[in-house]
Structure 1
Amino acid sequence: MTDLAGRAAELVAGKVAEARHFAGGSLSSVELVRLTDGREMLVKSGPSPEAEARMLGALRKAGVPAPQVFASGAEVLAIGRLPDDGGLAAAWGDLGRVLRRLHGTKGESYGWPDDYAFGRLPIVNRSSDDWPAFYAEHRLLAAARGTGADVERRVDALCGRLAEILPRRPSPALLHGDLWSGNVLTSGGRVSGLIDPACYFGDGEIDIAMLSLFARPSRAFFEAYGALPDGHRERAPVYALWPALVHLNLFGAGYRGMVEGFLRVAGF
């Protein structure tokens, strides 16, 4: 029995019958744990399991499919396992409807009650009423730090003009915050769950830009989601830049071309 499985079992007042590594979790360990009473759960480590538990709760409260939280502690999160057949190609339309529902939950300002992190990279969520300022300070500039002088200079120049590019006060939508295709579970042509959230309130277009980073949403997705505001195509590379910077910062030079491409398309 692993320490991770044992800590989770204690939180749910059970005993471990079996624990094995579960695929996924590039920034955390994930195990599939079966208890002696027959219960099954996925157990994760992470930078802030209790914050992630609150985020999963917010997704479910918004009417979006997400794993049930069984328990959370300072070092471990125990959640339900959801079906996944890997069939996102058949579920794009349903994902559009799910994301529209998620973004229909509104906040009063930008940010989130909890700060968070992707691995060693902190994510500050301090509340703000100025969206370009929030996105510049707490997303782009923070993720660019340490990626090299040229990228830092170009990101700094972009942030100096961000108020001309982004709306100052778009409706603060509840965001998944890390919505790439690997964090969308599907079953039978429907979304069975959104996982690994990094929630905050912000411009809903950023979730869509992030989703397009490693996948190509179909026409069915956009038809189900609904019309996007004018200028969304011009904003898309600016919104995709943040997750690209995160990948460059955490995973190295293989993502430099992606970052430079988004900066070039954005005019910087």
Structure 2
Amino acid sequence: MTAYEKPSVTISEVERVLKTQLGSNVAEITPMAGGNLSSVFSFNNEGRGYVIKFSDMEGAYETEHYISTMLSKQGIPYPRCLRQGKAGHLAYCILERMDGRILADFSAEEQTRQVPELIKNLTRLNQVDLGRTSGYGWIGPTGDGAFQTWKDYLVAAFAEEQPGSFWDNWYELFESTCLEKDVFAECYSRLMAYSSYNEPHRYFIHGDFHQWNILSDGTRITGIIDGNCAYGDFLVDLAILDRHMEGREVIQAYQEYQEKAGIVIPNFEERLIGAYYFKGMDGLRFYAKMGWEDAYCSTRNFLLRLNT
């Protein structure tokens, strides 16, 4: 299995879509760096900045409007989705462009200084009102989760057969990449053992909360973008942030903030371990598919050292 490559989209193709959707006042169409799964462009229209994303994956952006509306209405700095549709085999989504630049572009020292602000925003994000929605796991266009239980979600996430998705035929990675079947099986066994601690908790999960999906002006967080959104235990987002900002005392800062806010988190350690396994295993197969062996080895070693 070859490494995944996001779709190639020309400026002229972007221009055609934007003129159809927004008319002739579109200007300054510019490719944007980043984004492992989408091709992203910025542009201006009538004096305001926007972003358009393209994906060739089935179901891409179907929930973008629901999620962006829910979050932005509750004061979360998340871009509003203005339009979405299809252009040939590609799905596209047009969103407002938020101020700031990705946190990953700042120095290590500057990133560390913003950890308290990150924790504050993460807590607000995880505590949004979910309304009358139900279910766990991937969020559908109506706002409901795709599964009745957290465990059902985990089983489906790592099922061998996932036709039409990014993970279609992913078991081939055991034969064609650095992904080790025995390591994955061991981690899956541990994940299932810890899942009972995560099971009762249903909150909003961004699902990809790290420096490349967080915007900053250097002193404050100005935007949160590109979620892989789901319902479940909010400690999943903390696990993601901690692994991407290793060495910056994220867990300690988080616990101190929760204590000051009077938020009690039962079974914190066990739930965090369950979250580490869930996102870590997802990371293992992603890094293997992308050909990122250093990231694979680092995550593999971290997971195998957990709770030993």
Tell me if 1:223 matches 2:256.
yes
The equivalent residue for 2:38 is: 28
CA distance in structure 1 between the partners assigned to 2:171 and 2:307 by the alignment: 20
The equivalent residue for 1:44 is: 53
Deviations along 1:33-55, one digit per CA (max 9) or x if unpaired, are 123x3232111112313433333
CA distance in structure 2 between the partners assigned to 1:5 and 1:55 by the alignment: 26
Q: Tell me, which stretches of 5 or more residues in structure 2 are unaligned?
A: 1-10, 104-109
The equivalent residue for 1:261 is: 301
Q: CA deviation at 1:225?
A: 4.5
Deviations along 1:1-35, one digit per CA (max 9) or x if unpaired, are 52123313422344323212122222211112123
Q: CA deviation at 1:193?
A: 0.9
The equivalent residue for 2:97 is: 81
Q: Which moved more, 1:63-72 or 1:5-14?
A: 5-14
Counterpart secondary structure, 1:43: strand
CA distance in structure 2 between the partners assigned to 1:137 and 1:112 by the alignment: 10
Could you tell me which of 171, 185, 190 is aligned with 1:145?
A: 171
Q: Tell me, which stretches of 5 or more residues in structure 1 are unaligned?
A: 116-124
Q: Which amino acid aligns with 1:27?
A: L
Q: Which amino acid aligns with 2:153?
A: F
Deviations along 1:68-104, one digit per CA (max 9) or x if unpaired, are 2222213221112222254543322222122112222
Q: CA deviation at 1:182?
A: 0.8
Q: Which amino acid aligns with 1:53?
A: H
CA distance in structure 2 between the partners assigned to 1:211 and 1:179 by the alignment: 6
Contact 2:208 2:228 (8 Å CA) reproduced: yes
Counterpart secondary structure, 1:24: coil
Contact 2:190 2:277 (8 Å CA) reproduced: no
How many correspondences in the alignment? 257
Counterpart secondary structure, 2:28: strand
Q: Which amino acid aligns with 1:58?
A: M
Q: CA deviation at 1:247?
A: 2.7
The equivalent residue for 1:251 is: 290
The equivalent residue for 1:202 is: 232
| Inter-CA distance 33–6: structure 2 relative to 1 (3 Å threshold) | farther
| Inter-CA distance 29–108: structure 2 relative to 1 (3 Å threshold) | same
Q: Which amino acid aligns with 1:171?
A: H
Q: Which moved more, 1:134-143 or 1:81-90?
A: 134-143
Could you tell me which of 53, 75, 84 is aligned with 1:72?
A: 84
CA distance in structure 1 between the partners assigned to 2:67 and 2:82 by the alignment: 14
Counterpart secondary structure, 2:172: coil
The two structures, once aligned, show a CA RMSD in angstroms of 3.0
Percentage of matched positions with identical amino acids: 22
The equivalent residue for 1:98 is: 121
The equivalent residue for 1:63 is: 75
Matches within 5 A, 1:12-27: 12-27=22-37
Contact 1:136 1:159 (8 Å CA) reproduced: no
CA distance in structure 1 between the partners assigned to 2:224 and 2:146 by the alignment: 24
TM-score w.r.t. the length of structure 1 is 0.80
Counterpart secondary structure, 1:112: strand
CA distance in structure 2 between the partners assigned to 1:185 and 1:103 by the alignment: 18
Q: Which amino acid aligns with 2:154?
A: Y
CA distance in structure 1 between the partners assigned to 2:74 and 2:180 by the alignment: 37
Contact 1:20 1:33 (8 Å CA) reproduced: yes
The equivalent residue for 2:66 is: 54
| Inter-CA distance 49–165: structure 2 relative to 1 (3 Å threshold) | closer
Contact 1:205 1:239 (8 Å CA) reproduced: no
Deviations along 1:131-182, one digit per CA (max 9) or x if unpaired, are 2342243148676733326723332344345443221623111010111221
